[in-house]
Amino acid sequence: MYRTVRRALPTLLLPALLGLGCGGGGSSGPAGGAPVGKPEFTLTAKEFAEEYKKDAKAATAKYKGKVLEVTGLLKGYAFGAGGEPTLTLEGDPKDLTGFVSCFTADPKPWNKATPGQTVKVKGVYPEFAIVATLTRSEIVEATGPKAPEVTAEALALEFDKDAEAAKKKYENKYLIVTGDLDKNEAGKLTFKTPTGKPRVVCFFGADTAKALKDLKPGQKAKALGEYGFGAKDEVSLNRCVLME
């Protein structure tokens, strides 16, 4: 349990940290605006995070307003104070704040890249930030396999057959789940399964739950989320985003 919670901390910390550090709107805001153009600096996410951690003032003086191209492992998604989607790239895995956040111009960047892939991201360094940050970011390239896609029915049957084996296979991994909706309530989607148990449930945060308002039972849906802990008769996906 400790390992799972600790692993999630950068994603959980990100909205609070960046809500303090980055304003919205304008040419340097997290979203919108014209394409950022050619990068002036190219580096890895680890190099960027380490440089910022070593001397944030020097990094800001060097990069402020400049276009950077950063490559790193996509760990997950978070949201800024204004609800802007943000990529979380792994920097130093031993440092809970040693990551890179990239506010994206695309409102649904998860349709282009999923956690576990290596991404190349281009964006603008803001005037001020709490962690190594890029705004107006664009996903230039994503390499490696995407999150596996599975139907809710197949996932429920796999869990029902051997819950422990399913946990070992999927724990701490992101999955794309597709299927017909059974319920849409209180920031969570429940998919129809062959017998109704085990349930397959996707839990959404306050920012991502807004996309659920028009979904009705019986409709088909596709969601990306991290396999996590659930009830005995429930497969849970956490930190979900709606893909379709």
The domain locations on the chain are: 7-143, 149-242
Domains 7-143 and 149-242 alike in fold: yes
* pLDDT given at position 33: 57
5 has pLDDT over 70: no
* pLDDT given at position 123: 97
pLDDT digits (tens, 9 = 90+) for 30-58: 445 567 889 999 999 999 999 999 999 99
Q: Are 219 and 180 in contact (CB under 8 A)?
A: yes
Quick one: average pLDDT of 167-172? 91
Average per-residue pLDDT in the chain?
85
> Does domain 149-242 fall into CATH 2.40.50.140?
yes
HSE-CB for 207 with a 13 A CA cutoff: 16
User: CA 207 to CA 240: how far, in whole Å?
Assistant: 10
Give the residue carrying structure tokens 């299927």: 179
Measured CA distances, 164 to 8, 33, 79, 167 (Å): 21, 47, 32, 5
Among 20-24, 87-91, 124-128, the minimum mean pLDDT is found in 20-24
* pLDDT given at position 207: 86
2 has pLDDT over 80: no
2.30.42.10, 2.40.50.140, 3.90.1150.10, 3.50.50.60: which CATH number matches 7-143?
2.40.50.140
In this prediction, residue 95 has a pLDDT band, given cuts at 50, 70 and 90, of: confident
pLDDT digits (tens, 9 = 90+) for 175-211: 999 999 999 998 999 999 988 889 999 999 888 888 8
